[in-house]
Amino acid sequence: MQIKQGTYCPLLKKDCIGLECSWMNHIVGRHPQTGEELDEWDCTIKWLPFLLLENANMQRQTGAAIESFRNETVERMDKPSIRPATDPLKLGSIDVSGFLN
């Protein structure tokens, strides 16, 4: 048995009035569950669960990117790029101790 979707609108408490309704929106993108391309007009209330799932997925991806960035930053801060000199008066093979007087 296949379930057929009805056209009753709980907001208007009557059948859907289609494009005359201000809740009709144009959805373009990918279906979050099947991945197929979407380009259709439909009721915002109908799409709300799918849009919430898509939003949650985007938040997870953003959180993972921020965590990765944080880990990379901490790792680089642990390794200083400029090493302190052991003898501040000698720079490599040049002796600068005579210039300080």
Find the distance separating the first CA and the last CA of the chain, reported in whole Å: 98
DSSP label at 79? S
Task: Read off the pTM.
Answer: 0.57
User: How does pLDDT run across 63-92, given as a tens digit for each residue?
Assistant: 999 999 999 988 888 776 666 555 555 556
Q: Does the structure show a pLDDT above 80 at 14?
A: yes
For the chain, state the CA radius of gyration.
31
Averaged pLDDT, 28-49:
87
Residue ranges per domain, the chain? 9-78
Exposure string of 76-87, with b = 16+ CB inside 10 Å and e = fewer, is eeeeeeeeeeee
Lowest mean pLDDT among 22-26, 29-33, 53-57, 87-91: 87-91
What is the pLDDT at residue 66? 96
The DSSP string of 29-85 is EE-TTT--EEEEEEEHHHHHHHHHHHHHHHHHHHHHHHHHHHHHHHHHHHS-SSPPP
94 compared with 6, residue with greater pLDDT: 6
